[in-house]
Amino acid sequence: MAVERIGPPSIAGEREMLRAFLDYHRATLALKCEGLSDEELRRRSMPPSTLSLLGLVRHMAEVERAWFRRVIGGEDVPLVWSEEGDYQAAYDASGSTGAEAFAAWQAEVEHSRRIERAAESLDVTAYQPRWGEEVSLRLVMLHMMHEYARHNGHADFLREGVDGTVGV
């Protein structure tokens, strides 16, 4: 899978800028995983943690699904890897393949893009049950960037541990 990461524009409207930065962070996660075997993608950071690059991809599929489909879209769909709603379950990728995880993640990203584009504005709100309050699409997009940025930092260290690659 060849990953194309396009830098966000220096000047743009708010919505275009948010889309571009979110897509930049999505592409960064994909780049951190590019060219690795399933075994390398499943390599854990350190015991007892189950954290791996593949686990991060699975987790971000869950996060995309939860914020865009479940919250903004109002869809009643379970998490991908946990019917009990346990977000931590996605981190354990020991029985997963790169093809499976990336297919789920890419599908959720496409759902997220569709939901965002269909929204009338960034001011659209929806109820976030875990927080117990209404949230705007603007907040969701900013929160997603925060999630990716934080986990891409983890991915930096994980990738360096696999093959020494740094700085992608």
Output the DSSP codes for 6-64.
PPPPSS--HHHHHHHHHHHHHHHHHHHHTT--HHHHH--SSTT----HHHHHHHHHHHH
Averaged pLDDT, 53-81: 96
pTM score: 0.95
In three-state secondary structure terms, 109 is helix
**Residue 146 pLDDT greater than 70, yes or no:** yes
- The pLDDT value given to residue 57: 98
Domain ranges of the chain: 14-163
Cis bond upstream, residue 48 (ω within 30): yes
- The pLDDT value given to residue 40: 97
Question: Out of 19-28, 31-40, 158-167, which region has the weakest mean confidence (pLDDT)?
Answer: 158-167
- The pLDDT value given to residue 1: 60
Q: Which of 158, 74, 10 is nearest to 166 (CA)?
A: 158
From the CB of residue 59, how many other CB atoms can be counted at a distance below 10 Å? 24
pLDDT digits (tens, 9 = 90+) for 92-142: 999 999 999 999 999 999 999 999 999 999 999 999 998 999 999 999 999
**CATH 3.40.50.300 fits domain 14-163:** no
- The pLDDT value given to residue 167: 81
